[in-house]
Amino acid sequence: MSDTTAPLSRPGVSPAQAFVSAALREPEPAPVSTRGPVLWVRQHLVGSVPQVLLTLFGIWLVYVTVPPLIKFFLIDAVWTGTSREACLPEKVGRPVGACWPFIWAKMDQLLYGFYPASERWRVNVVYALGAILLLPLLIQKLPGKRLNAIAFFGVFPVVAFVLLTGGNLDMQRFLVGSIGSIGFGDLFTSGGSVQGLRASFWIDFVVSTVIVTAIAFLVSRFVAGPEAGPAAAKATLSMLGLLGLIIFAMDIDLGLPQVETRLWGGLLVTLVIAVTGITVSLPFGILLALGRRSKLPLVKALSIIFIEFWRGVPLITVLFFATYMLPLFLPGRFTIDGLLRALVGVALFASAYMAEVVRGGLQAIPKGQYEGAMALGLRPGLMMRLVVLPQALKMVIPGIVNNFIGLFKDTTLVLIVSIFDLLGSMRAAFTDPSWASPTTLFTGFGFAGIIYFVFCFGMSRYSMALEKRLDRAQRH
Amino acid sequence: MSDARLSGPPAASRRRWSWTDPKLRSSVIQIVLALIMVWLVWSFYANATANLSRLGIASGFGFLDNRAGFAISQSLIPYNESMSYGRAFVVGLLNTLLVAFLGVILATLIGFVMGVARLSKNVVIKALASAYVEVTRNLPPLFQIMFWYLAVLSTLPGPRQSWGFGLQPLLGSIGSGLSAIGLGFLGNPLSGFAAGLSAPSVFVNNRGLVLPRPIFEDGSMAILYALVAAVVASVLIGLWAKKRREATGKPFPAFWTGLALIIVLPLAASYAVGNPVSIETPELRGFNFVGGVRVIPEFVSLLLALAIYTGGFIAEIVRSGILAVSKGQSEAAHSLGLRSGPTLRLVIIPQAMRVIVPPLTSQYLNLTKNSSLGVAVGYPDLFAVFAGTTLNQTGQAIEIIAVTMAVYLTISIVTSMIMGWYNKRVALVER
C-alpha cells in the first residue's frame, strides 16, 4: 500500500537526494530451468507426464532391442570355424550368437555365384573398374563429367560384357543375311558359320551399312531437300559405325574362356541387373517422356499406354512375361539366355518408371525456356537437346537415384524366376546341411540385410544431399 | 529451303513436299509408327501361333473349366481339388484382396503413428521412429518377407509348445509382478481375477496363428442388420452435425455418437434375439489344435512384411504432409482459441491430407502389387495360384500371364480413378 502512495519516499532518504546508479546493473542469469541442458531435457524428454512416459517407453524399447543385437552379432558371435560344429551351443559350451564362419565359407558364392574360381579376377576387375568410374561421377567438384559419363554409361558396359561373358560373341548374320535368308538365299552368310571365322558377318555388316546409308541419303534428300542428304548419311554412318565398333569389341577373341550366365550369381547378378536396368532405362525413359508430351496423338497414346501398363503391373508379372511369354512371341530359332530375359523385363519396367521421373522434370521447365529456344530459331530436336533436357535432367537427378534404389531392391525378385542374386544365393546357402545351426538363418539375414542397407541408405543419403544442392542452386 | 519460307508464299515456288512442314512431318511419323506397330503385332501373332502349334500347347480360355487337381492352403470360399481352374483363380484373387486390404489398414496405422512420432519433440521417440523408417525402407520387401517367414515364424515352437496369448496369462503375469515388488494389495486380487478367466485363446506356433472362431447361429443376421443401420445412422448424424456446425457454429460430438451407436446397436440386437453368436476357442488335442481358425504362417509373414515395409514409406509421406502445412496455420488456430486437439483435427489434418493422399494412393497400389511376392514363401495369392501352379500345369503362358496382368492393371486403374475423384474433391479451390 505504501509503495503506491509514496513511491520515492524511503525512510532516511529525502526525495531530493534520490540514489541513481551510474552504471547499468548486470542482468541476473535466467533461471536454470529455462536455459542450457536443463531446458533441453525439459523440452525434449520430460516436459509433461505423457512426455515422461513416452521417454521411458522409448528407453525401454532401446534397451530390449539394441543390447541383444550387439550381443548376438558381436559378443556371443563365433568368428572362426570350419563347419556347423563351431556354431552349435552344445559343442561350444556357451550361448552362441551369429555364426560368421558360415558367411566366410559362403562368401565366394554370395559375391560371384558359381562363376569359375579361376576366372573370378574378371569379376573383380569389373567391380573395380565400375567403382573407379562411378566415384568421380558422383563427386560434384571433379571436372570432366561428360567424358566420365560417356566412359561409365557407354564404354564400361561393353568392357564389362566382354569381361564377364568372355566376349567372342557368336554373331552369324546381320541385316542382309537375315533378310536374305527369307528371300534371296544365303548370299553373304556361309550357312552354318564356323566358330571363330566371321568374315561373312563383317561382309554382311559393311554391305548393310552401305545400303542403309544410301537409303537414308535418298529418303532425306527426297523428303527434306538436297542439303539434308549428306547430313542424314553422316548420322546414319556414324551410328552404324558405332554399332560396328561395339559388335567388334564384343566379337573379338581375347582368349578368355566363355562363362555362361547361369553360372553367375550373388552380388554380381544383383549389380548387373540394377546397373543394366538403369543404363537402359535412361534413354528409353527420356524417349517415352518426350513421347508422352508429344503433340502427335498416336505417339502420345502409345507412350501413355506403354508407361501406364508397365507401371500398373507388379514387377514379378513382368519377369514372368519376359521369361515365359516373350519367347513365344519371337521366331522359333531364337533362344534367349535366362538372364537376358530377366534383363529385358527389368528394362521394360524401369523405362516406364524412368519416363515418369523425366516427365516431372520436363513439366518443371518454365514455358519461357521453350519460347526462348524457339525465338532463337532452334528446331524442336535441338531445342530439346540443348535447352530443355539439360535443365530437366539435372533437376531430376535425385529422382533417378531414387529410381535406382527401387530397382536395386527389386532385383531380389529375380530369385522367383530361378536366377540367384544376392538374396537367392543366401537362400541357397541356407539349405546346406553342413552349416545348419540354430543361428545360421539370423546370421545370413543379418549379413544380406547389412549389404542391402548400406547400398540403399548410402544412395538415399546421396540423393538427399544432391536435392539440397540443387535446391540451393535454384534459389536466386 | 529456308529461302522459300522467307520469301513468302508464292504458290509456284513453294515446295510441295517439305520436311519442315509440321503437318506433313507429323503424319509421316505417325504413319511409319502405325506401320511398325501393325508389323510388330502381326509378327508376334504369327510367331506365337507357330510356336504354340510346334510345342503342342492349347490356346483359348477353355482350360478355366478343367479340373484343377491341386489343393490351396488358404481359401475364403469353399474349394477343393476337384474344382476348376476358374474357381482356383477366384480363390487366389480373394486371397490377394484379403492380404492387400488388411495390409493397407495395418500399414496406414503404422505409417501415421511413425510419421507423427518422427515429428515428436521427444528425442528418444523421434530417433526410434527415424531408425524404423530408415531400416524398413532400405531393405527389399522380398528380403523382409523371407526374413519373417524363414527366420522368425519357422523358428517358433511347434504346436505342443505354442505360445498362448489371452487375458488370463497377461493379467496373471502383471498381478504376480506387482506382488513381487511389494504391491501385493494390488497384485493378489488381479491374479485372482485372472485365474477366473478362461485359458489362453490365441496361440502362436510354427504352423501359424490359431484364433478363436465366432460361430453364427440362427438370428445372427439381426446383428448384421443392426450394424448396417448403425453405420448408416452415424454417417447421417455426421452429415447433419457438419451442416449444423457450418450454419450455427455449434459443435456436436458426431464421432463419439457414431462410435457408441456402432457398438451399442449390434449388442442390443444380439441380446434381443438371444445371443446367437458363440465363440469357439481352440484347444490342443494330440499334436495339433482343434477348433478355432488357423491363419497360415505364409499369410502372417506376408502381411507383416508388407505392412512394415509400406508403413515406413507412409510415415515419410505423413511427415512431409504435416510439415507442408505452414506454422502460421496452427498459430492462427491457437489465437482463435482452439486447443491443440481441435487444431490438429480441424486445421492441420484437413490441409495435410491434400498433400498426403496422392502419394498415399500410390503406396497402397505398391502394397497390392507387392503382395504378389507372397509366391516366394508359398502364400496362395492370385499370382502363386494362377501364374504359378496353373501356368505350370497347363503351359498356357500367354492367356494366364495376360489375365494376371489384367487383374493387377484393373485394380490399379480403379484405385487411381477413385483417388483422382477424391483428389479433385479435396483440391484447393482457388478463386
Q: Which of B124, B366, B383 is the mutation pick for testing A, counting most A CBs within 10 A?
A: B124
Residue A15 has pLDDT above 70, yes or no: no
Residue A62 has pLDDT above 60, yes or no: yes
Alpha-carbon torsion A191, A195, A199, A205, what sign? positive
Confidence of residue B319 (pLDDT cuts 50, 70, 90): very high
Please report the DSSP string for A219-242 in residue order: HHHHHH-TTHHHHHHHHHHHHHHH
Mean pLDDT of B10-38: 72
What proportion of chain A, given as a percentage, has pLDDT over 90?
A: 22
Cβ–Cβ contact B128 with A under 8 A: yes
Greater confidence (B10 vs A210) lies with A210
pLDDT tens per residue across span B25-53: 788 888 988 999 999 899 888 888 888 88
Mean pLDDT of B132-156: 90
Query: Which residues of chain B neighbour A430 with C-beta distances below 8 Å?
Result: 150
Greater confidence (B279 vs B74) lies with B74
Which of these ranges, A348-352, B20-24, B196-200, has the smallest mean pLDDT?
B196-200
Cα dihedral value A150, A154, A155, A161, nearest 10 = 160
Residues 6+ apart with CB under 8 A from A59: B124
**How many Cα atoms occupy the beta-carbon half-sphere of B201 within 13 Å?**
13
Which of these ranges, A302-311, B12-21, B246-255, has the smallest mean pLDDT?
B12-21
Among A225, A445, A457, beta carbon nearest to B138 = A457
Residue A188 has pLDDT above 50, yes or no: no
Query: Which residues of chain B neighbour A223 with C-beta distances below 8 Å?
Result: 17, 19, 28
Q: Which of A219, A295, A298, A401 is the mutation pick for testing B, counting most B CBs within 10 A?
A: A298
What is the spatial distance between Cα A95 and Cα A89, in angstroms, rounded to a whole number?
5
Compute CA B287 distance to the chain's CA centroid, rounded to the nearest angstrom: 34
Which of these ranges, A77-91, A265-279, A410-424, B92-106, has the smallest mean pLDDT?
A77-91
Cβ–Cβ contact B50 with A under 8 A: yes
Helix, strand, coil % in chain B, rounded to nearest 5? 70, 5, 25
Greater confidence (A182 vs B117) lies with B117
Tell me the β-bridge partners of B164.
Answer: B203
Residues 6+ apart with CB under 8 A from A92: A78, A86
Greater confidence (A52 vs B1) lies with A52
Q: Find the angle CA(A450)-CA(A448)-CA(B135) to the nearest 5 degrees.
A: 45
Which whole-number Å values give the CA distances from B427 to A377, B342, B344, B349, in the listed order? 39, 22, 19, 14
Q: What pLDDT was estimated at residue B194? A: 62
Residues 6+ apart with CB under 8 A from B101: none
Cβ–Cβ contact B261 with A under 8 A: no
pLDDT tens per residue across span B363-413: 999 999 999 999 999 899 999 998 888 888 888 888 899 999 999 999 988
Which whole-number Å values give the CA distances from B260 to A70, A90, A213, A392, B226, in the listed order? 48, 58, 80, 54, 13
What is the spatial distance between Cα A243 and Cα A237, in angstroms, rounded to a whole number?
10
Rounded to 5 degrees, what are φ and ψ at A377? 85, 20
Compute CA B110 distance to the chain's CA centroid, rounded to the nearest angstrom: 12
Residue A207 has pLDDT above 50, yes or no: yes
pLDDT tens per residue across span B214-223: 777 777 788 8
Q: What pLDDT was estimated at residue B372? A: 92
Locate the DSSP E strands across B283-425.
283-285, 288-290, 293-295
Tell me the β-bridge partners of B283.
Answer: B290
SS3 B16: coil
Residue A419 has pLDDT above 50, yes or no: yes
Å between B87 CA and nearest CA of chain A: 21
Q: What pLDDT was estimated at residue A152? A: 86
Confidence of residue A310 (pLDDT cuts 50, 70, 90): very high
pLDDT tens per residue across span B224-252: 888 899 999 999 999 998 888 888 888 78
Which pTM was predicted? 0.82
Which of these ranges, A80-94, A219-233, B296-310, has the smallest mean pLDDT?
A219-233
SS3 A13: strand
Confidence of residue A158 (pLDDT cuts 50, 70, 90): confident
Total residue length of chain B: 431
Å between B16 CA and nearest CA of chain A: 10
Residue A36, phi-psi category: left (phi > 0), alpha (psi -120 to 50), beta (remainder): left
Query: Which residues of chain B neighbour A329 with C-beta distances below 8 Å?
Result: 44, 47-48, 51
Q: What pLDDT was estimated at residue B394? A: 85
Q: What pLDDT was estimated at residue B276? A: 73
Locate the DSSP E strands across B274-400.
277-280, 283-285, 288-290, 293-295
SS3 B253: coil
Rounded to 5 degrees, what are φ and ψ at A417? -100, 30
Locate the DSSP E strands across A268-368.
none
Mean pLDDT of A155-166: 86
Residue B94 has pLDDT above 90, yes or no: yes
Q: What pLDDT was estimated at residue B5? A: 46
CA-nearest residue to A423 within chain B is B143
Nearest to B313 by CA among B146, B151, B141: B141
Confidence of residue A44 (pLDDT cuts 50, 70, 90): confident
Cell for A305?
Answer: 499406354
Contact status, residue B91 vs residue B73, Cβ threshold 8 Å: no
Greater confidence (A10 vs A90) lies with A90
Mean pLDDT of A449-458: 93
Å between B168 CA and nearest CA of chain A: 24
Q: What pLDDT was estimated at residue A14? A: 59
pLDDT tens per residue across span A254-282: 777 888 888 888 899 999 999 899 888 98
Confidence of residue A182 (pLDDT cuts 50, 70, 90): very low
List the 87-126 stretch of B: residues with Cβ below 8 A of A. 120-125
What is the spatial distance between Cα A201 and Cα A190, in angstroms, rounded to a whole number?
9
Greater confidence (A248 vs A268) lies with A268
Which of these ranges, A329-338, B344-353, B374-383, has the smallest mean pLDDT?
A329-338
Residues 6+ apart with CB under 8 A from A381: none
Nearest to B203 by CA among B165, B174, B172, B233: B165
Among A51, A223, A311, beta carbon nearest to B122 = A51
Rounded to 5 degrees, what are φ and ψ at B84? -85, 170
**How many Cα atoms occupy the beta-carbon half-sphere of A86 within 13 Å?**
19
Greater confidence (B192 vs B285) lies with B285
Which of these ranges, B168-182, B250-264, B390-404, has the smallest mean pLDDT?
B168-182
Alpha helices in A2-155 (DSSP H): 2-5, 36-44, 49-70, 89-92, 100-112, 120-138, 145-150
Total residue length of chain A: 476
Among B15, B34, B397, beta carbon nearest to A324 = B397
Q: What pLDDT was estimated at residue A190? A: 45
Cβ–Cβ contact B391 with A under 8 A: yes
Mean pLDDT of A162-178: 70
Q: What pLDDT was estimated at residue B10? A: 46
Mean pLDDT of A115-120: 86
Residue B212 has pLDDT above 70, yes or no: yes
CA-nearest residue to B117 within chain A is A54
Cell for A258?
Answer: 566363355
Greater confidence (A11 vs A317) lies with A317
Place of cell 517439305: B18
Q: What pLDDT was estimated at residue A456? A: 93
